[in-house]
Structure 1
Amino acid sequence: MRTFTFDARAVPYSSPKTGAPDGLPTDAEGTVKISHHSPTEGWTVRSRARVDCLVTSPGNATLTAVVTHADEPIKDRIGKRLGFSVHDGRHDRMGFSWSVVNGDQDEEGTWGEGRAGTCMGPAAFAPVTRGDYVVRHADLLPFPSR
């Protein structure tokens, strides 16, 4: 059983980047907590990530977060950006960028796990079985005038 907890807020133009000295309208902050529990095998693995991008539409959100903490078996994920999507509707759904939906080929044609760019996440493919996600849509703010 996987559990995802999202606490993300838009903070437009708060994170300067190369090529975007004022930041971007999708800059965000917050935390994603992930827990994967296997009752039959008797283990739980947890990780935590810092939200760096958020974009919404009515009832939907796509966000990315960089892993800051991970239990021993997945410590290699620290520093990686993960993509997520949430659909807030009659039947909530969510998506995550690893495991089943994000592959990439290298120059030799070998497949591996793909990278997630900022605010890049898959469609909300997985049904939510417990809990209730809430998405509060806000239009992106225009670029600041100089």
Structure 2
Amino acid sequence: MIGQTDPQPDACDVRPNSFEDLARVYRALGHPARLAILDNLANRSQACCGDIVRCLPLAQSTVSQHLNVLKEAGLLECRVEGRSCHYRINLSVLRQAVGASHDYLSAVSAAPDIPLVECLDQTGSDTGLIPAKETAFD
């Protein structure tokens, strides 16, 4: 009705930049080797690639590739000393990602639990979701 405000935010009100940033971090964290590398670095102030290779069952070239992905996502900082690179976790970026993840997942989990049969448009046409008669939720 005119004059009333909808207590729900507009369904099209998205924050694409924050989604891109969060997706970049999730993509970097989306491999078990990269999680293992971060876990390894969490126990020390810094490490070079060789230090990490000695702790993981991976080839040096593989570890280097995974370190590069984490660095490009901003999750690692790299300091070059001579011929070796020393890596450490970028705690600032990691903490921002934790906060953004918390905010995003809290907002998504607060969504109303609407049965799928109510997801039809006003004409009764399928909106592209799995038709209610084919769901296994009942």
Give the TM-score band, short-chain normalised: under 0.3
TM-score, structure 1 normalization: 0.20
Give the TM-score, by structure 2 length. 0.21
* Bigger Cα Rg: 2
Structure with bigger strand share is: 1
